[in-house]
Structure 1
Amino acid sequence: MKRFFKIASAVLLLACPFIALKAQTQSTEESWIQAKKQAQTEKKLIFVDLYFTGCMPCAQMDKEVFPDPKVTAVLNADFVTFKSDILKEEIGKKLCMKYGVTGFPTFLLMNADGKVIDIAGGFHNVEQFLALLQNAKEAAKKGNFKKYSPEIQEKDYPDFYKQAYLDGKRNVPFEVIDAYLKSKDVADEISFVIITGLRVGKQYDDAFLLNSKKLAKDYGRWNVTTHVFSILQRKKKEYEKKKDLKGFTELVNDSKELYTPEEFDKYSSILLKDFGVEKVVVNPSTSQK
């Protein structure tokens, strides 16, 4: 599943002439501050692309979507664009930490004050991307924002989480994470990004599923649906042991309204495929040529 999401989500902005002109040679904390100031001055929204060089969906977006005149026109008219390579630039790492980003590209859409309108990721064709931008504009006009705080406050995060994103030390023992989370409300922003950003499971899976619709409303569908899929993959193993296809199908269907119809068709087919079929692992060292 991790491979699936890496393939399905990694995209953005090198080929788009407009964005290429606006982009910095290196995104820094100062350039991020300047982007927000520009948005305030020009009364525009902010479009952030978190990407990395070498990402296949990024190249597809660059080739097929961002050069499109309709896309360029909307970004130019209504958004200040900001991009950051999350493997090379500290501000990109900090934004990933702030929003618990795990797949790329991830797009942040926010107002000039840093209030998040929506978070999305993965490849979007031209029409899908234009719809994303239009929906963000309409939500901003209505004052519909997510619950994220507007600023990055590093002191608010536990050391293990900061080290996971800023230093790449992502193999955090569950006991360390659990010791922190058990004293917190798992629906709070910091707890939410820790759970989704570090893919925390075990006893936190059921609570996350139970509250998934509210969490999607508070923090956006992208991080929630990605994590729900991971949970359901873990749950599949439990239901297979009980040979309970009916129960697992009902559990999968409970998450249906989190997804678009197209997404649910795709993800449910992946989850329900070969339910209970024993997976045969062939040892490469003994297999015949």
Structure 2
Amino acid sequence: MIRILKIASAFLLLACPSIALKAQTQSTDESWELVKKQAVAEKKLIFVDLYFTGCMPCAKMDKEVFPDPKVTEILSSDFVTFKSDIMKEEIGKKLCMKYGVTGFPTFLLINSDGKVIDIAAGFQPVDQFTALLQNAKDGAKKGNFKKYSTKIDVKDYPEFYEQAFMAGKRSVPFEVLDGYLKSKSILDEVPFVIVTGLRVGNQYDDLFLKNANQLYNDYGKSSVANHVFGILMKKKKEFEKTNDLASFKKLIDQYKTLYTPEEWTRFEGFLLKDFGVVKASNSTYTLQK
């Protein structure tokens, strides 16, 4: 699910929220600060759309979801909206760095103080999207916020991570990652976004799975559920070596609660599909012995 955001347009919608996410004005650090000030003045939440040109789910959101009257009503009434392209706009890159964003579109739902209510990724049909917005409103009223700090400062991150997002230098040697992470707690924000944002594996897979539920509560579903799924896909290969389907099912069932029933049906299908089947050189499939 690694993707990188849509066209040159990131805009704070001041006078015309009914055409939210359509305006084409360059987004900057200054415009982001103005959005936060507007949210304070109007007592609204902030909705951020991170996207890129050529992203099909992003384009589908623009065409089918954002123009829907139910969506424009809730966005205009309760949110200040902000759109950014991380390929072209530094603030978009900083937001992706801050939250370890790798899949697009990604939606950030934040209060005017910068506290994260929720993060969601991928195409969302109208009903699902309006439910996301309503749940964010309800969560903010209850004071249910994630563990992320409220500031964005590149100085808070090791250089390799900052360069990965701000300069696109994502090929970081594992020894560099390990050298930083082995003295840190994965439960802390910066190590967490490094692991999920750079897809760090090896011994960190088991550590992540062990702490998945806590991380889910602290940082939200989007990054955690996606990373867990990626780990389980790798684990599948280990269990296929011994053709131990029963043990693999037992393992993956531990993480069922991280997903909706619909998501789990889809993900479990991917995880169990062709278990124990290897592709032979003649392009036919055979079961592992």
Does the 8 Å contact 1:11/1:61 carry over to 2? no
What RMSD, in angstroms, separates the aligned Cα atoms of the two structures? 2.0
Post-superposition offset of 1:6: 4.9
Alpha-carbon offset, residue 278 of structure 1: 0.7
**Closer, same or farther: CA 165–6 of 1 in aligned 2, 3 Å:** closer
Taking structure 1 as the reference length, the TM-score comes to 0.91
- Once residues 85 and 98 of structure 1 are traced to their aligned partners in structure 2, the CA distance between those partners, rounded to angstroms, is 15
- AA paired with 1:108? L
Counterpart for residue 19 of structure 2: 18
Output the CA distance in 1 between the equivalents of 2:54 and 2:18: 19
Give the partner amino acid of 2:266: K
> Is it true that 1:31 corresponds to 2:31 in the alignment?
yes
**2:27, 2:54 → 1: CA distance?**
18
Percent identity between the two aligned chains: 66
Compute the displacement of 1:63 (Å): 1.3
- What is the 5 A alignment of 1:1-289? 5-6=1-2, 18-20=19-21, 23=23, 25-280=25-280
Judged with a 3 Å threshold, the aligned counterparts in structure 2 of structure 1 residues 10 and 222 are, in CA distance, closer, same or farther, namely farther
Q: Aligned equivalents of 2:203 and 2:21: distance in 1? A: 45
Give a deviation string over 1:215-262, Cα, whole Å, max 9, x none.
011000000011001100110111111221111111111110000000
Q: In structure 1, what is the Cα distance between the partners aligned to 2:2 and 2:281? A: 23
Cα separation, 2, equivalents of 1:265 and 1:59:
26
Q: Offset at 1:86?
A: 1.1
1:31-62 residue CA offsets vs partner (Å, 9 max, x unmatched)? 00000000000000000001001110111111
Deviation at 1:280, TM superposition (A): 3.5
What per-residue deviation string (whole Å, max 9, x for no partner) do you get for residues 167-219 of structure 1?
Answer: 00000001100000001011100000000000001101111111111101100
In 1, the alpha carbon distance for the partners of 2:224 and 2:99 equals: 12
8 A Cα contact 1:104 1:122, kept in partner = yes
* TM-score normalized by the length of structure 2: 0.91
1:59-89 CA-to-partner distances (Å, cap 9, x unmatched) read: 1111111110110010000000000011110
Q: Is the 8 A contact 1:11 1:56 kept in 2?
A: no
| Residue equivalent to 1:287 | none
Contact persistence 2:18–2:76 (CA under 8 A): no
CA distance in 2, matches of 1:166, 1:11: 16
Deviation of 1:18 after TM superposition, in Å, equals: 1.5
**Equivalent position SS for 1:48:** strand
Question: Structure 1 residues 33, 10: closer, same or farther in 2, change over 3 A?
Answer: closer
Q: Gaps spanning 5+ residues in structure 2: where? A: 11-16, 284-289
Instruction: Give the 3-state SS of the residue equivalent to 1:278 in structure 2.
Output: strand
Structure 1 residue 155: Cα displacement: 0.9
TM-fit CA distance, 1:279: 2.1
Does structure 2 retain, via aligned residues, the 8 Å contact 1:110–1:116? yes
Deviation for aligned residue 1:17: 5.5
Change (3 A) 1:154 1:226: same
How far is the alpha carbon of 1:282 from its aligned partner? 6.6
C-alpha distance in 2 between matches for 1:214 and 1:18: 38
Q: How far off is 1:20 after superposition? A: 4.5
Letter of the aligned partner of 1:47 in structure 2? F
CA deviation after TM superposition for structure 1 residue 266, in Å: 0.2
Note the residue ranges of structure 1 that are not aligned, 5 or more in a row: 284-289
Residue in 1 aligned with 2:14?
Answer: none
